[in-house]
Amino acid sequence: MRPGLEALHLPAWSGASGPSWGPRGRNAMAHLDSDTKEECLREDLKFYFMNPCEKYRARHQIPWKLGLQILKIVMVTTQLVRFGLSNQMVVAFKEENTVAFKHLFLKGYSGTDEDDYSYSVYTQEDAYESIFFAINQYHQLKNISLGTLGYGENEDNRTGLKVCKQHYKKGAMFPSNDTLNIDSDIEVDCVHLDLSKDPQDWKNLSFFRLEFYRLLEVEISFRLKGIDLQTIHSRELPDCYVFQNTITFDNKAHSGKIKIYFDSDAKIEECKDLNISGSIQKNTQYVLVFDAFVIVICLASLILCTRSIVLALRLRKRFLNFFLEKYKRRVCNTDQWEFINGWYVLVIISDLMTIIGSILKMEIKAKNLTNYDLCSILLGTSTLFVWVGVIRYLGYFQAYNVLILTMQASLPKVLRFCACAGMIYLGYTFCGWIVLGPYHDKFEDLNTVAECLFSLVNGDDMFATFAQIQQKSVLVWLFSRLYLYSFISLFIYMILSLFIALITDSYDTIKKYQQNGFPETDLQEFLKECSSKEKYQKESSAFLSCVCCLRRKGSDDHLTLVN
């Protein structure tokens, strides 16, 4: 018999009937098995809550996940920078073409938009000249344009201009007699102007005899195609663009001022026939290989983090069952949430977004897809989450951990406070919009009002907000002073100060806990208990070591809950 079993005075086997246990022996063995389970669970819990360095010292476990996260940060950031430089050329090409179109098709365009529209006209002659100027410029585009532009087909697969006008069905107006007789039903008439006709012939069409007193809108739409050649300098395949351009003459106000809007919607399409010599194809292949490697890295990180969460949930279940069996009560919610590592959830979300974004980027690079916006959102957000995840490793140092603990402690209180302050903010937003909207540019719509008030909370642009109010109504001017003074005083001196006080209070609490110790929960008290009871410490030490080693040998895979 082994020395360990002799020391425990365990009975010998008596034939095929198995061991002959006495009552005392059975109780001792059951108690010993309970202590063994408790000690193994305590060791697993202690190991789970260790940082990567402590885990390496305890079991020589290499922090694979830490190394993988560092590599992923470098790879994802490099990928984002390369994509950002490529996307920057796309944005520049679109914006520069929009500016060029305004100068080409808008008569007398100064280079600067008036408010939210390009420019305006005030006479019938100017309106006619602006319409026919755009038509003439479109007709001779290839002779005057500096860009790589060509004519595109409209929705009905026809090349040329589409001109539509909206007007009231019929009516008569005599302002001098205060007389108005009009049918409010709106008619829409359209005409297609192809390139085969002389632009001078278009002027004689009855369609262009406009009755301005019932005219609402004239819209000129056309498509142009272009190729972005600047990507070749970066050794990338060029993009082919379709520009849907719309010139709108807005006369809905009938105020004697027609606002002219120019809108250009650029879409990237796959080039039908690309034949480019040089090293561009090789460079594209290298980028695709790099993106594929990023996907592999993120996929490995995703698998490891998912595995860690699953194993943590198993350990949590073991602890809950043991605690309920031994102490006859449930573990508090705070201790249960300790097993759910929020950093792993953040990494999983980041990995999923990076994988999807990288696949889209590869398709864009191969010119099979053109959705730059979705790819930018996915890669940008995933990189944000990757860098935020670095905070987790800084939290192992006490000086940095104060910041993380303060954010965790103050977040619930800050959210509740913002919900209450948000009600007051919305009240001021609606009030400012309805009262000051007709008299102040910054209060014309709800979105602008919200942005203006947020600027005031941060102390920005205060004097301009006070000064720009129109003094047409003394009552509204007095109300604006009361409105602005009360809002600034309430939010800057009271609400903002309370907001800072909440965070400061959480910081002071965390500092006191670090000096005097944090309040102990059931989980922390369980981890601090003695490793085994004193009366069994000597007689069962050898047997406990044997059992724990045997169990861990068969289940180390699910105890390695990683860094």
Share of the chain above pLDDT 90, in %: 16
Mean pLDDT of 162-176: 79
Mean pLDDT of 486-492: 92
Q: What string of H, E and C letters represents the secondary structure of 377-391?
A: HHHHHHHHHHHHHHH
Q: What is the pLDDT of residue 563?
A: 32
Q: Cβ contacts of residue 523 below 8 Å, gap of 6+?
A: 45, 319, 331, 335, 338
What is the tens place of the pLDDT at every residue in 46-56?
Answer: 777 777 777 77
Paired tokens of 415:
């959210």
What is the tens place of the pLDDT at every residue in 429-487?
Answer: 999 999 988 888 889 888 999 999 999 988 888 888 888 887 788 888 899 899 999 99
Mean pLDDT of 222-242: 79
The answer to whether the beta carbons of residues 245 and 161 sit under 8 Å apart is: no
What is the tens place of the pLDDT at every residue in 297-311?
Answer: 999 999 988 988 888
pLDDT value at 6 more than 60: no
- The residue among 411, 483, 495, 419 whose CA lies nearest residue 457 is 495
pLDDT value at 355 more than 90: yes
Q: What string of H, E and C letters represents the secondary structure of 92-154?
A: HHHHHHHHHHHHHHCCCCCCCCECCECEEECCHHHHHHHHHHHHHHHHCHHHHCCCCEEECEC
Mean pLDDT score of the chain: 78
pLDDT value at 530 more than 50: no
More confident position, 271 or 264: 264
Give me the residues paired with residue 19 across strands.
Answer: 13
CB 94: neighbour CB atoms within 10 A?
18
